[in-house]
A = this chain, B = another copy of it.
Amino acid sequence: MPLILITNDDGYQAAGIQALARAVAPLAEVYIVAPDGPRSGAAASITCTTPVSYTPLAKGLYACTGTPVDCIKLALEQIVPRKPDLLLSGINHGDNASVSVHYSGTMGAVYEGCMKDIPSIGISLYLQRGQRYEDNPVSEDTLSAIADLCQRVLQQGLPQDVCLNINLPVAHKFRGWQICRQARGRWSAEWITASNPRGQQSFWLTGQFTDLEPEATDTDFAALRAGYCSIVPVTVDTTAYAAMTTLQELIP
């Protein structure tokens, strides 16, 4: 029986992780080791300044005080009985397409699995501002397409140092997968002034996302706009190989 380890960055109570665990339960022994509350925007952060701990809540379900990456590190060394055959993170309540991948706690956990040689997949739902997962749940046939994909990855693995960043559109029906590249994009207008009864000015992070390649047809956002589920293969090797020659000119 294969072992699937699941985490997220919305916390173990989130509807998305529960749907994902239900979808893949027939494939494997499933362990959920997830944060004890929201960790949106945690990226691949780790907890360095305090200890972390975890609490078993039910068979195969553990809540952790740390970040999504902490959850994976703790699970691998302290919780699961053997190396997982597959790591899943999500289903995130909100997309992690384009440059948002860099802030994503969902994808942080996926990088961690990938760096530990575990086939690893992050899954996120592209909600418009104000939309809630609970009102726009991932459809049953999409969940079943996800389970099929997981089954294939369990059988065939993924290339070394490569993990998957999957984003789903809100849709009643599964229209298909599209393998994409990450769209160029930019966040702007990122702060609103917070009301503060103590007087000090403070700011809430918010922001407007702009797809810088709205005409492209091969990006994750293009796939989402067309109603497809996007799959970006992501590498944990950050080297910009194409830039090495240019750089040689810069260096004395």
Residues of A within 8 A of B (CB): 38, 40-49, 51-53, 65, 67, 69-70, 73-74, 77-78, 99, 101-103, 105, 108, 111-112, 115-116, 148-149, 152-153, 156, 158-159, 161-162, 164-165, 177, 179, 181-182, 184, 186-187, 189-191, 194, 196, 200-205, 231-244, 246-248, 250-252
Contact = CB atoms under 8 A, between A and B. Distances in A.
Contact of A47 (B41, B162, B235): B41
Query: What number of copies of this chain does the assembly contain?
Result: 2
A203 B52 CA distance: 5
* Chain A binding surface SS class: mixed
B181 A236 contact: no
Contacts of A190: 73, 77
A187 to B, nearest CB: 8
B108 A43 contact: yes
Nearest to A189: B77
B239 A182 contact: yes
Given A49-B38, A200-B53, A250-B152, A182 B78 contact: no
A235 B240 contact: yes
B196 A184 contact: no
A41 B45 contact: yes
9 contacts: A53-B200, A53-B202, A102-B238, A161-B184, A162-B240, A162-B243, A182-B237, A231-B251, A233-B243
